[in-house]
Amino acid sequence: MNYQKGEAEMAAIKADQTLDCKGLACPMPIVKTKKAMDLLEAGKVIEVLATDKGSLADIQAWAKNTGHQYLGTVMEGEVLQHYLRKASSDEAIESKRYSDTIANEELKQKLERGDRMTILDVREPAEYAFNRIPGAISIPLGELEARLSELHPEDEIQVVCRTGTRSDMACQLLAEKGFARVNNVVPGMSEWTGPTENN
């Protein structure tokens, strides 16, 4: 479980929407989260603020049942900050078109050998904050085009997301822009067994 004591830096986790359920007793935090989630665009991240301690176990169980991605919870004093990402039904089945891929296991071996490379994590900031490959840099897919200058076209870049779909799109974009040594990490963080870090 990604459960962490609050630290100043954790408070800055970026979410697309914030839902305030402070002061509400069970079942309202989950009832309101469900309503907000129904309206949220697939792939977006919501931050739910709650003071009901029972919301921690319940929101995890609810997310598991509904297929939404529970990212983690941060405690800030009396307030629990839960992070969830809305599932998208087409995410896993969309065909991947970028041909250069690297398997999780192979990337793990390269890391162990200490190979020089850039690991680019294109998931949402909240996903990155709770669980990432050590040393990975964060540029969410939606910001990639605007932030290309942060990357070097001649570097070897391993692009990772949760299931290999967003990273596939990122690889295509990078290839178009002249990046020659780019690999899509498959399947990605959903099955990553190597070392991880968080904020």
The reply to whether 58 sits near other proteins by the rule CB under 8 A is yes
**Distance between CA 52 and CA 29 in Å, rounded?**
8
Stretch that binds other proteins, among 50-58, 84-92, 96-104, 142-150 (CB under 8 A): 50-58
Candidate list 47, 62, 80, 104; residue touching other proteins; CB under 8 A: 62
What minimum distance in Å lies between the beta carbon of 39 and other proteins? Answer: 15
Query: Coil, strand, or helix at residue 165?
Result: helix
**Distance between CA 146 and CA 179 in Å, rounded?**
15
Nearer to other proteins, 23 or 153 (CB): 23
Q: Which run of H or E residues covers position 107? A: helix 104-113
Nearer to other proteins, 6 or 54 (CB): 54
The reply to whether 57 sits near other proteins by the rule CB under 8 A is yes
Q: What are the start-end ranges of the E strands in the chain?
A: 3-5, 17-21, 45-50, 69-76, 79-85, 101-103, 118-121, 137-138, 157-160, 182-186
Question: Which residue's entry shows tokens 């793990």?
Answer: 108
Candidate list 11, 12, 26, 103; residue touching other proteins; CB under 8 A: 26
Which parts of this chain interact with other proteins (CB under 8 A)? 25-28, 30-31, 34, 53-54, 57-58, 61-62, 65
Residues known to be catalytic: 26
